[in-house]
Structure 1
């Protein structure tokens, strides 16, 4: 394994667009696993813009994220909820919905749950 690995999200290994042009996932593959940068545009909501791609009732990915900018509301299937914003780290288990709060894009870095995120149902990444 090389002593230093460098990747840039602006030249990602894979780009996965969300429905209706409401954002995208830039994915870089590393020796330690995939890392993703998601840009969720204002008006983005998982149930509207990723559910049609994933084919599940709620997001079934675990996430460990750092919020670069913008705000995101997260609601678990059991009703537990939180809102995250710039500088926050958050972890969330499968079984949730989320949406952008406000009028600026929410940008996240996730090093746990984006490997199979927004992959069409029945496909493999």
Structure 2
């Protein structure tokens, strides 16, 4: 094994589309685990565009990420909320909904929560 590894999201190991064409998740795998780059299109909301895929009441992913561009509102099941935008590092525990704020796609990288994200129930 070499000490350097390089992958490009434009040639991702896997791409998972969201419902209604509202974005996609590109996933690259490494010996340290999967890393994802998601593009959430304007109008995207987890409860509308991923919930039908995941089959859970709220997002159960544990996110550790960084927002490249755009804005997203995250609301926990208990009502706590935060808006994230360009340059923000974020962590989000399981049990939340989220949606794009504004008319610009939100692009985010995630080192923890995208490995099992938007995987159809039963897969």
TM-score normalised by L of structure 1: 0.98
Secondary structure of the residue aligned to 2:58 is: coil
Aligned mates of 2:72, 2:65 — CA distance in 1: 11
1:2 Cα shift?
Answer: 1.6
Aligned twin of 1:88: 88
Structure-2 residue corresponding to 1:69: 69
Instruction: Give yes or no for the alignment of 1:36 onto 2:49.
Output: no
Q: Distance in 2 between matches of 1:114 and 1:107?
A: 13
User: Please, which runs of 5 or more residues in structure 1 have no aligned partner?
Assistant: none
Aligned partners of 1:73 and 1:65: how far apart in 2? 14
Q: Distance in 2 between matches of 1:23 and 1:73?
A: 16
Could you list the structure 1 runs, at least 4 aligned residues long, displaced by more than 3 angstroms after superposition. Answer: none
Within a 5 Å distance, the mapping from 1:1-20 to structure 2 comes to 1-20=1-20
The reply to whether residue 54 of structure 1 matches residue 54 of structure 2 is yes
- Distance in 2 (CA, whole Å) between partners of 1:3 and 1:90 is 28
Q: Structure 2: 5+ residue runs without aligned partners?
A: none
Task: Name the CA distance, whole Å, in 2 between partners of 1:73 and 1:2.
Answer: 40
Give the TM-score of the pair, scaled to structure 2: 0.99
1:93 and 1:54 map into 2 onto residues whose CA distance is: 16
Give the SS at the match of 1:67.
Answer: strand
User: 1:108 — aligned with what?
Assistant: 108
CA distance in 2, matches of 1:13, 1:122: 21
Structure 2 Cα separation of the partners of residues 90 and 2 of structure 1: 30
Aligned length: 123
